[in-house]
Amino acid sequence: MTVATALPRSAVHDHRPPPDVARSWLLVPGRPDAPDAFDAAAASDADALILDLEDGLPAALRPEGRRAVRSWLSTQSAWVRISTAGTPDWSADLTAIADARGLAGIVLAKTESPMQIAATLGRLGARVPVVALVESALGVENASEIARRPGCARLAFGLGDFRRDTGVSADPMALAYTRGRLVVSSRAAGLPAPIDGPTLKNAGDRLEEETRVTASMGMTARLCLDADHAARVNELLGPSADDIAAARETVAQLGGGGDVYDGSALPTLGRAQSVLERAERLGLIAD
């Protein structure tokens, strides 16, 4: 699958997989009074780490939080969630982190327009990938245009704020249209599949059920608010060892191009090859 942006510009070594295949995206509040939290999160099983300067950080702590995040990014690498484009906090967030050495990318809160991505990249002065966090009815309505905007690396679903904006329940059927819209918009724009809404700290008993909904809708990642959820999210969003074995068997059977079977053969082969490519990029197979 084609990714529309360059790789993160950070020169800091990062063991995590590329962001287009990352499955668990761990949000960590950028609190200045919890200096060990960033290191603990970096040592977790999360595929991607996001330091949060928006909802995860009380307004009174934001100036110090920005300094703490900037300092940590001088030696480590992470994404940073910043405030809504055009707000004073957005401007202050960008001023604080624009030239941080370990800035892997931006997660832009409450994205509703492709111009918000353009404005953010204009302030950064460099090609830094942006994950557009879609959290409102207007954002969903404009999802296709947002996804097509140069610099948008991936869409993510801000499920909680979307439900607050629309009054929609948490029932998967009620949210199916929105998830499907983000999936189709991403695919049409040549982006990786979108990142689903977060795993909540108090919802461990629903983690598996919710993540299977994520996978069934064609989304390949989830935001996480609890580091302990990351390993299970990675496992559930695969590919698993069984998936890899089945894909290898399919490629062995259909990849030679000999007998042409029926109209489903090429799509089946393509899906198997995609599984193997994704597994390789996640470091699950050597070649």
| DSSP calls for 10-40 | --S---SPPTTT--EEEEEE--TT-HHHHHH
Amino acid at residue number 198: P
Q: At what angle do helices 241-254 and 265-281 cross, to 10 degrees?
A: 130
Among 2-6, 181-185, 253-257, the minimum mean pLDDT is found in 2-6
- 271 in any annotated domain: yes
Rg (CA), the chain: 19
pLDDT in tens, 83-111: 999 999 999 999 999 999 999 999 999 99
User: What pLDDT does residue 5 have?
Assistant: 38
- 97 in any annotated domain: yes
CA distance linking residue 171 with residue 166, whole number of Å: 13
Q: Does residue 147 share a domain with residue 265?
A: no
Q: Does residue 228 share a domain with residue 265?
A: no
Average pLDDT over residues 166-177: 97
- 12 in any annotated domain: no
Does the model's pTM come out above 0.85? yes
Closest CA to 93 of 129, 54, 58: 54
- 79 in any annotated domain: yes
Q: Does residue 246 share a domain with residue 137?
A: no
Which structural domain range is residue 247 located in? 242-281
Q: What 3-state class would DSSP assign to 5? A: coil
Q: How confident is the model at residue 263 (pLDDT cuts 50, 70, 90)?
A: low
Q: Does residue 117 share a domain with residue 175?
A: yes
- 286 in any annotated domain: no
Where residue 124 sits, what CATH number does that domain have?
3.20.20.60
Average pLDDT over residues 5-32: 75
Q: Does residue 107 share a domain with residue 75?
A: yes
Q: Does residue 232 share a domain with residue 181?
A: yes
Q: Say if residues 53 and 93 touch (Cβ distance below 8 Å).
A: yes
Q: Does residue 265 share a domain with residue 145?
A: no
Q: Does residue 84 share a domain with residue 106?
A: yes
Q: Does residue 272 share a domain with residue 187?
A: no
- 10 in any annotated domain: no
Helix (H) or strand (E) holding 223: strand 221-224
Q: Does residue 233 share a domain with residue 126?
A: yes
Q: What 3-state class would DSSP assign to 134? A: strand
- 143 in any annotated domain: yes
Number of domains the chain is built from: 2
Q: Does residue 272 share a domain with residue 147?
A: no
Average pLDDT over residues 198-214: 89
Q: Say if residues 140 and 181 touch (Cβ distance below 8 Å).
A: yes
CA distance linking residue 217 with residue 234, whole number of Å: 16
Q: Does residue 137 share a domain with residue 87?
A: yes
